[in-house]
Amino acid sequence: MSGGEEGVRNELGVVVGNAIQAGSLSVHIHGGGRRLPVPRQVPFLEGPFVNRREEIEKLNGLLDQQEVGLTPVAVINGTRGVGKTSIGRYWAHVNGTRFEGGSLHADFDDLRQEGGVDIHALLGSFLRALGFHDEVIPETLEGRSALFISEAAEKKILLLLDNVDFDAQVKSLMPGPYGSVVVVTSRAQLTELVSGGATWIELEPLEEGDAVQVLTRASGRPERVEAEPAAAKSLVDVCGGLPIALRVCGALLARESHRPVSWLADHLSDETQRLRRMKIESKKSIDLVFTEAYRSLTPTARALYRQLGAHQGTSFSGPLAAAVVEAPPADARALLAELRGANLIEGREDRFRFHDLLRIHARQTASEEEAEADREAALRRIVDFYVASSQRMDYAIIPERLRLSSPPEGVGPPVEPAFGSTAEALGWFDAERANMLAVMRAAAAREWDEDVWRLGEALWLPYHNLKHYGEAIEVYTLAATSAGRLGNRDVEARMRSQLARAYLDLDDRAGAEAEMKVAMKLSDKTARPELRASVVEFNGVVAAAQERYPEAIEAFEYARDVSEEEGSRRGIVVHEYHLGRVLDLDGQHERAIKSLQRAIDLIDRDSDGLTLGRALLHLGEAQRAVGKPEVAIETLREAVDTMAREKAPFYEAQARERLARVRLELGDKAEARRQLEQALEVYLALESPRAEEVKSALAQARGERG
């Protein structure tokens, strides 16, 4: 690629603009008739990008490898701040429209937890971005990988993975040799990928000409830098060609617009010997640049910078910043804009993060300028923020359920973050998962046990529904341990029940049983019958999963009876539903019909349509089993209508399948074929593996016709 930076950036705009005009940034149809956009996840560049012509040409070479039967992979290597992320994102934006399946992106710095990155969860998020519904995403890593490869075989995908740690992380996400391309940035060598044929691209610090361009653009006034070439060169030397340091120097010049460039060069030359000795591995010179940027801030922005250093997570939001400095949200946003303008934080809108070195600098600055008690107080405010926010999230998902904590402040009045729907609440959870886990660990280390278990309780619904298994195990373990330290048997019983369910989701039956034994023992002497019923219900779920149906039935009957005594309508609905489901599995179809019908009669049809639809599915099955096909048909028709109304296409297709089976048994082959055809249409739209099974059933039905 030839030409200067301006030409390259213009080319990017033309490529994207032409793609939009030509319609190549298209949308495609997925389940329920919804139009979903082709995923374009790669973030925009956050600063000046100058031509790295040799490296760009190597990346362009990936496009020539797409037809040789191997997945083209590039590994971009280099130290922090050298521009790995920028070149990867730039190339992805220039070439993104070549990939009809879209561009997927993951920053492993955001996803990293103790023990590594949850590849299982990451594959799930990629599949959701590609339009797959949770109902059709396999539970196992192998299943998710196979589905991802299958999708990539039909639609070429560009996969950009930032800040990868190990070769295995990339290998687990490979989309297969079907025209897709993988670009990886990493500070590690990733020798297995390179020895396997990946293109190796090692970035060096910028040469003088390119470094001056970065400084010039970051300063905001090109003529000012061009007027003092010697001072500009001095700053480039001080920064050692690292883009991150150059951008900070540019921000300092922009803020101190009344001063000449030579002022900053002279100011930084006070530490001439240290700066000239700066190596890529050395932090001191970069630390000096960060400190100068920090000193240019207003006092309140400096306080926010220091106190955000107490945050244990990988990112932070405007509401968190407001809580940390105890300021109105609008003031906090202005302070964040000041930090962003000085290039001390990265991000846009309401999601920001520190560069790793800047996070260290913020913490060191706080250590130098604030008392330990003040630093702990900042962390205390961060923990309080996440406890209250997670509780508001919990109430937004299901307002009425068994909780052992009191309602959080601000459940009623509008506060930030405010959740207007379940989707908003779950979206906030996804954005804050890593942060909440880090905060929970910090609170547990300090034995702030009330906060730890309250977080564990509030996080039950999103973890149970979104199935981040490994994290859930740690969350409930921390919560149970804290409850045990407090001697709160009720809370510990509840937390261990949740931990047992997480083990069950991982198919660790021994782990689930061990936790349930402890939970059952802890709840033996509880003064809260509804808590005992909840623990017994969890025990029943574990028993049912192991096909110990009599034990599960006894557990659900006990829980239902307690809910009746306590007057809990929702509790009765849930327990009768579980009871009916297990009775049907156990062959007790008449009893199953009674339990399921009672649950249906008590369900609030306006607010709990999904539970209604599931109950109708099982009721229709039980009615068919006792020889009442006509009644089953009416029930399953209602299930179809309910699931369609609830925009649950997967369950709608299940209902149509069961309806077709009953129609076949009655000899109505034409109607059976119609239901199977409609079910197949839904499964194909969802790209569900069940489509193949329905195709087979439909072929058999058509064969009978002949």
* Residues 36-75 pLDDT 10s: 678 999 988 866 777 788 999 999 988 887 665 678 999 9
The predicted pLDDT at position 69 comes to 67
Residues 328/331/335/337 CA torsion (nearest 10 deg): 120
This prediction has a pTM of 0.63
The predicted pLDDT at position 68 comes to 58
Q: pLDDT band at residue 617, thresholds of 50, 70 and 90?
A: very high
Question: Are 373 and 381 spatial neighbours (Cβ–Cβ below 8 Å)?
Answer: no
The predicted pLDDT at position 32 comes to 41
Which letter does DSSP use for residue 446 in this model? Answer: T
Helix then strand then coil, in percent of the chain rounded to 5, is: 65, 5, 25
The closest alpha carbon to 157, from 123, 194, 196, 197, belongs to: 123
**Number of C-alpha atoms within 13 angstroms, CB side, residue 340?**
19
Neighbours of 288 (CB within 10 A): 18
Question: Are 454 and 386 spatial neighbours (Cβ–Cβ below 8 Å)?
Answer: no
Higher pLDDT, 274 or 651: 651
Which letter does DSSP use for residue 35 in this model? Answer: E
The closest alpha carbon to 514, from 525, 503, 524, belongs to: 503
What are the start-end ranges of the H helices in 446-568? 449-458, 460-466, 469-486, 489-505, 509-522, 529-545, 549-566
The predicted pLDDT at position 35 comes to 45
User: Would the pLDDT of 278 be above 70?
Assistant: no
The predicted pLDDT at position 516 comes to 96
Question: Hey, which residues does 77 pair with through a beta bridge?
Answer: 186, 202
Q: For the chain, which domains are there?
A: 5-202 (3.40.50.300), 208-295 (no CATH), 299-370 (1.10.10.10), 372-493 (no CATH)
Average pLDDT over residues 518-535: 93
User: Would the pLDDT of 467 be above 80?
Assistant: no
In the numeric block, the tokens 């010049």 are attached to 253
In the numeric block, the tokens 């099982």 are attached to 618
User: Would the pLDDT of 12 be above 70?
Assistant: no
- Coil/strand/helix, residue 133: coil
Average pLDDT over residues 327-337: 91
Instruction: Compute the mean pLDDT over every residue in the chain, rounded to the nearest whole number.
Output: 84
User: Would the pLDDT of 498 be above 90?
Assistant: yes
Secondary structure tally for the chain: helices H, strands E? 35, 9
Percent of the chain predicted with pLDDT > 90? 45
The predicted pLDDT at position 476 comes to 96
In the numeric block, the tokens 């009953």 are attached to 662
The predicted pLDDT at position 592 comes to 96
Q: pLDDT band at residue 423, thresholds of 50, 70 and 90?
A: confident
User: Would the pLDDT of 286 be above 80?
Assistant: no
Peptide bond preceding 529 in cis form (omega within 30 of 0): no
Residues 491/494/496/499 CA torsion (nearest 10 deg): -130
The structure tokens listed for 138 are 């396999």
* Antiparallel, parallel or unpaired: β 346-348 and 351-353: antiparallel
pLDDT tens per residue, range 139-195: 898 999 999 988 888 888 999 999 888 888 898 898 888 889 999 998 777 888 888
User: Would the pLDDT of 14 be above 50?
Assistant: no
Q: Report the C-alpha gap between 477 and 492 in whole angstroms.
A: 10
Contacts of 320 (CB under 8 A, 6+ apart): 311, 382, 385
The predicted pLDDT at position 643 comes to 82
Q: pLDDT band at residue 23, thresholds of 50, 70 and 90?
A: very low
- Coil/strand/helix, residue 51: coil
CA distances from 306 to 235, 295, 325, 359, 409 (A): 26, 12, 10, 9, 27
Q: In what order do the strands lie in the sheet with 157-164?
A: 102-107, 157-164, 181-186, 73-77, 199-202
Question: Are 597 and 635 spatial neighbours (Cβ–Cβ below 8 Å)?
Answer: no
The predicted pLDDT at position 416 comes to 65
Q: Report the C-alpha gap between 160 and 99 in whole angstroms.
A: 12
User: Would the pLDDT of 597 be above 90?
Assistant: yes
- Coil/strand/helix, residue 42: coil
The predicted pLDDT at position 114 comes to 67
User: Would the pLDDT of 412 be above 80?
Assistant: no
The predicted pLDDT at position 484 comes to 97
Residues 327/331/336/338 CA torsion (nearest 10 deg): -130
Average pLDDT over residues 678-697: 83
User: Would the pLDDT of 16 be above 50?
Assistant: no
In the numeric block, the tokens 């790995």 are attached to 84
